[in-house]
């Protein structure tokens, strides 16, 4: 029996009707009395299903079922692997195998069993979490229930139970910080945990959070507390400033995961957002320190939680003492003082200040030491810059990799403004525009921290491959495509059944030309056997996919025969016609630019949109075979595609592919823009 179940029993006895779990309209709220019964019943079922105490995994969206399962697994004493939904298939397989997972709980009812060899987990393991830190070989960190609940209890003791109102789960499911600092702390304090699916909060598209939708949710659900990463805080306060809206019910907004620019904190405070910065590590249960309600100055990570102590080593590294994780899989914790790898200081008031990562320190050729986080914070404060990574060890001045916020961003002007706030030795001398850093591509942690080694390996290691040049060259075209309202609606799931069927109709009209287009390109490239072989593989893979779409239309209640007889919309016809004209006009290799657009877009539509639309419309999986199958297929295809085009050395080949990709982003976007979001009747022609 855990502290959590004891607490739930106490809450159920003292205020049984108080709402414990609120899915915010996606299902019915659950009172503390109801939650206690559901957790106890599910824990009993889990003990029956897994009598040997086997480790299980969760890879689910937020919701009532996920929350109850989290609490029941804690009570049943089953080791649970937390798998963020943004993990790649390879990351997921690796974590499942390393952890010896016997079953996986995914969205929906029940679980799927898997054959597994039990892993050497430390005794008492309640949670396994794979950090996506700075190394390329992440380890599964094992935490006990007692440790996690001790951290959650320290958070409650530090902030007080008067903040236990309505906490909204904004961080992705599977993130330890949200589980411990959000769910567990809210339950211990007797508050309400608000946990709708990510799509309902404007987070269906990982590239472009819809901060207006996020603000709507916080306001309409009367939220009083949040845990945010700096990117979310920045987006929210800028939307508040733009719209002149305020959130007077908020009493606590904890921000962690990465350095927060002081200017952003000042802006948030000026808008009435009660920001408190914090600091933590997975090995210490996710939270180590948190600012007080009335901090002195801006920029500290606050006071250490009651159960932790710290000192600063001679080289500036922060050394922590206190309860730690049980170890990693196969490697029990040695105990003792823990070297964090972060540099910082503790002031006279006992506040902890984080000044950078020890291993990240840049030393210029002039001998100046620069913490890249400091310069990055100045860069991302500019509205045009979404993400930045500063590098340049051994160079005269630092350089930056920049991800623009929107398609028309003036990055040069933004960097000039950021430089004006920095001393000359820390100013950005050169910059390069690149694709997004995301958890899905392994360049960002779930908490929003840059995975510097992975980013450097992708963008800075040697001569940039053509596939990476293509990604960078089309980033603004992709941003313009993603900004189309119909694309946003599809990714968030906020479309009607009619619109979904109309989308499938247009998809059929262009997908039925995929194989003929490939055959035309093959004929034009007959003298290039390596490309002919690739096209043969594509043709074999793509044959019959148009029939999948017709089947989806029928399952979704549409008229597949009517679609087969219909004419394409003008925008769809224009996209297909342009592809034929380009191939027949002497540039058959340009077809691979179309491949890049359709396959990269389909991964996002499948991984984000299909699930959101299915949940909203209540359609069975058989109505999404085209999208979901393409999502899995095209992840593999993109690897194949990169290997293929990286072998193309001729400038004219590369130029043709880049040009076609840019044109296809616009033409494919036109197809989406032509969908009527207000359509109330199915339009097949």
- Lowest-confidence range among 226-230, 319-323, 537-541, 632-636? 632-636
Least trusted range by pLDDT, from 69-78, 250-259, 545-554, 642-651: 250-259
Contact predicate 590/663, CB 8 Å = no
Q: Name the token pair of 631.
A: 């999502």
How far lies 49's CA from each of 96, 111, 319, 513, in Å? Answer: 19, 10, 42, 49
- How many whole angstroms separate alpha carbon 190 and alpha carbon 513? 58
Q: At what angle do helices 372-380 and 411-419 cross, to 10 degrees?
A: 130
User: Residue 358 — pLDDT band, cuts 50, 70, 90?
Assistant: confident
Q: 242: how many CB neighbours lie within 10 A of its CB?
A: 12
What stretch of H or E contains 118?
Answer: none
Quote the CA–CA distance of 7 and 187 in Å, as a whole number. 8
Residue-wise pLDDT for 148-158, tens only, equals 999 999 999 99
DSSP 3-state assignment of 449?
coil
3-class DSSP assignment, residue 411? helix
> How far is the C-alpha of 60 from the C-alpha of 79, rounded, in Å?
16
Output the CA angle 415-416-417, nearest 5 degrees: 90
Token representation of residue 60: 């689910």
Helix axes 497-511 and 651-673, enclosed angle (nearest 10): 150
pLDDT confidence of residue 683: 60
Is there a contact between 100 and 55 (Cβ–Cβ < 8 Å)?
yes
Dump pLDDT digits (tens) for 440-474: 788 888 777 888 989 999 999 888 899 999 999 99
User: How many CB atoms within 10 Å of residue 650?
Assistant: 9
- Per the CB < 8 A criterion, the answer to whether 252 and 276 are in contact is yes
pLDDT at 636 over 70: no
- Higher pLDDT: 421 or 91? It is 421
Tell me the C-alpha distance between 502 and 597, whole Å.
21
**Residue range 318-335: average pLDDT?**
93
User: What's the mean pLDDT in 75-97?
Assistant: 86
Query: pLDDT band at 262, cuts 50/70/90?
Result: confident
Q: Would you say residue 135 has pLDDT above 50?
A: no
| Spatial separation of the C-alpha atoms in residues 661 and 598, rounded to whole Å | 9
Q: Which among 221, 226, 217, 225 has a CA at the least distance from the CA of 171?
A: 226
pLDDT for the residue 268: 94
Is the predicted pLDDT of residue 607 greater than 50, yes or no? yes
**DSSP per residue, 450-501:** B-HHHHHHHHTSSSPPHHHHHHHHTHHHHHHHHTSHHHHHHHHT---HHHHH
Q: Phi, psi (5° rounding) for residue 296?
A: -95, 110
Residues of 7-20 as b/e, b for ≥16 C-beta within 10 angstroms?
Answer: bbbebbeeeeeebb
Statement: residue 610 has pLDDT above 80: no
pLDDT of 554 above 70: yes
Q: Rounded to an integer, what distance in angstroms lies between the CA atom of residue 322 and that of residue 306?
A: 10
In the predicted structure, residue 270 carries a pLDDT above the cut 90? yes
CA distance 611 to 275: 33
Query: What value does the mean pLDDT take over residues 514-529?
Result: 94
Nearest CA to 552 out of 621, 633, 606 is that of 621
- Residue 430, exposed/middle/buried by CB under 10 A (0-12, 13-18, 19+)? exposed
Please compute the mean of the pLDDT values over residues 630-645 and round it to a whole number.
70
Q: What percent of the chain has pLDDT over 70?
A: 95
119-128, 145-154, 535-544, 601-610, range with the lowest pLDDT: 601-610
- pLDDT value at position 491? 81
Angle subtended at Cα 606 by Cα 472 and Cα 132, rounded to the nearest 5 degrees: 60
| Residue 501 pLDDT grade (very low, low, confident, very high; cuts 50, 70, 90) | very high
Q: Which tens digit of pLDDT belongs to each residue from 181-221?
A: 999 999 999 999 999 998 889 887 656 788 999 999 999 99
Range 285-324 burial, b when 16+ CB lie within 10 A, else e? bbbbbbbeeebeebbbbbbbbebbebeeeeeeebebebbb
Extended beta strands in 145-240, E state: 166-168, 192-194, 225-228
Q: What pLDDT band is residue 608 in, cutting at 50, 70 and 90? A: low
- Mean pLDDT estimate for the chain: 90
513 — pLDDT class (breaks 50, 70, 90): very high
Report how far apart the first and last C-alpha atoms of the chain are (Å, whole number). Answer: 62
CA–centroid distance for 26 within its chain: 21
- Using one digit for the tens of pLDDT, what is the confidence trace for 197-206? 988 898 876 5
Mean pLDDT calculated for residue range 85-99: 83
Cα–Cα distance, 10 to 4 (Å, whole number): 10
- Strand order across the 338-346 sheet: 309-312, 317-321, 338-346, 352-357
User: Tokens standing for 265?
Assistant: 């904190």
Q: Are 189 and 156 in contact (CB under 8 A)?
A: yes
Burial class (CB in 10 A: 0-12, 13-18, 19+), 633: middle
593 band by pLDDT with thresholds 50, 70 and 90: very high
pLDDT of residue 684: 56
pLDDT in tens, 337-346: 999 989 899 9
How many Å apart are CA 55 and CA 73, to the nearest integer?
A: 10
Sorted by sequence, the CB contacts under 8 Å of residue 43 that are 6+ apart come out as 5, 72, 73, 75, 76
- Rounded mean pLDDT of 319-333? 94
Helix runs in 171-210, H state only: 176-177, 185-189
pLDDT band at 518 (very low <50, low <70, confident <90, very high): very high
pLDDT per residue over 35-58, tens digit each?
999 999 999 999 999 999 999 999
CA distances 373 to 106, 360, 362, 501, 538, Å, are: 36, 9, 10, 47, 44
In the structure, what pLDDT confidence band is assigned to residue 625 with cuts at 50, 70 and 90?
A: confident
Q: At what angle do helices 651-673 and 466-473 cross, to 10 degrees?
A: 40
Is it the case that residue 335 has pLDDT exceeding 90? no
């Amino acid at each position: 029996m855990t502290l959590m179940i004891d607490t739930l029993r106490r809450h159920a006895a003292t205020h049984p009707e108080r709402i414990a779990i609120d899915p915010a309209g996606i299902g019915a709220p659950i009172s503390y009395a109801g939650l206690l019964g559901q957790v106890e019943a599910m824990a009993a079922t889990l003990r029956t299903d897994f009598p040997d105490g086997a480790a299980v995994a969760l890879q689910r969206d937020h919701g009532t079922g996920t929350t109850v399962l989290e609490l029941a697994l804690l009570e049943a004493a089953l080791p649970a692997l937390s798998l963020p939904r943004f993990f790649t298939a390879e990351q997921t397989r690796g974590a499942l195998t390393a952890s010896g997972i016997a079953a996986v709980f995914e969205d929906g009812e029940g679980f799927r069993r898997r054959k597994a060899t039990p892993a050497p987990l430390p005794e008492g393991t309640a949670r396994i979490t794979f950090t996506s830190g700075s190394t390329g070989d992440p380890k599964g960190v094992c935490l006990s229930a007692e440790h996690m609940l001790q951290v959650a209890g320290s958070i409650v003791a530090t902030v007080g139970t008067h903040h236990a109102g309505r906490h909204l789960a904004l961080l992705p499911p599977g993130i330890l910080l949200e589980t411990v600092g959000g769910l567990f702390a809210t339950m211990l304090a007797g508050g309400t945990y608000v946990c709708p699916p990510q799509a309902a909060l404007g987070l269906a598209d990982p590239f472009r959070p819809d901060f207006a939708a996020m603000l709507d949710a916080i306001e309409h659900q009367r939220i009083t507390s949040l845990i945010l990463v700096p990117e979310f805080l920045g987006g929210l306060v800028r939307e508040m400033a733009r719209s002149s809206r305020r959130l007077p019910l908020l009493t606590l907004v904890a921000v962690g995961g990465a350095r927060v620019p002081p200017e952003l904190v000042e802006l948030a405070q000026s808008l009435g957002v009660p920001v408190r910065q914090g600091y933590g590590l997975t090995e210490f249960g996710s939270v180590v320190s948190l600012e007080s309600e009335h901090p002195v100055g801006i920029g500290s990570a606050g006071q250490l939680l009651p159960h932790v102590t710290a000192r600063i080593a001679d080289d500036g590294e922060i050394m922590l003492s206190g309860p730690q994780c049980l170890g990693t899989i196969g490697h029990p914790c040695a105990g003792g003082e823990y070297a964090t790898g972060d540099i910082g200081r503790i002031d006279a008031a006992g506040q902890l200040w984080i000044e950078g990562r020890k291993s990240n320190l840049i030393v210029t050729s002039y001998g100046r030491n620069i913490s890249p986080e400091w310069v990055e914070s100045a860069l991302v404060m500019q509205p045009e810059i979404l993400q930045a990574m500063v590098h340049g060890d051994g160079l005269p001045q630092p350089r930056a990799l920049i991800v623009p916020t929107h398609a028309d961003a003036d990055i040069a002007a933004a960097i000039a403004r950021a430089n004006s706030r920095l001393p000359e030795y820390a100013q950005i001398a050169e910059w390069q525009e690149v694709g997004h850093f995301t958890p899905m591509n392994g360049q960002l942690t779930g908490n929003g921290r840059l995975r510097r080694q992975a980013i450097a390996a992708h963008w800075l290691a040697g001569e940039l491959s053509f596939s990476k040049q293509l990604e960078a060259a089309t980033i603004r075209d992709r941003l313009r495509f993603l900004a189309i309202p119909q694309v946003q609606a599809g990714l968030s799931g906020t479309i009607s059944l009619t619109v979904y069927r109309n989308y499938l109709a247009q998809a059929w009209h262009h997908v039925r030309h995929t194989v003929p287009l490939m055959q035309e390109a093959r004929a034009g490239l007959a003298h290039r056997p390596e490309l002919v072989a690739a096209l043969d593989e594509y043709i074999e893979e793509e044959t019959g996919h148009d029939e999948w779409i017709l089947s989806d239309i029928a399952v979704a209640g549409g008229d597949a025969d009517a679609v087969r007889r219909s004419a394409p919309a003008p925008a769809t016809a224009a996209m297909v016609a342009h592809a034929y004209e380009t191939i027949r006009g002497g540039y058959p290799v340009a077809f691979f630019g179309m491949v890049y657009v359709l396959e990269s877009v389909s991964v996002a539509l499948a991984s984000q949109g299909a699930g959101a639309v299915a949940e909203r419309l209540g359609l069975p999986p058989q109505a999404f075979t085209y999208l979901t199958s393409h999502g899995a297929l095209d992840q593999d295809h993109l690897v194949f595609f990169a290997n293929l085009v990286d072998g193309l050395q001729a400038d004219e080949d590369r130029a043709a592919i880049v040009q076609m990709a840019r044109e296809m982003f616009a033409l494919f976007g036109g197809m989406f823009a032509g969908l009527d979001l207000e359509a109330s009747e199915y339009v097949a022609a």
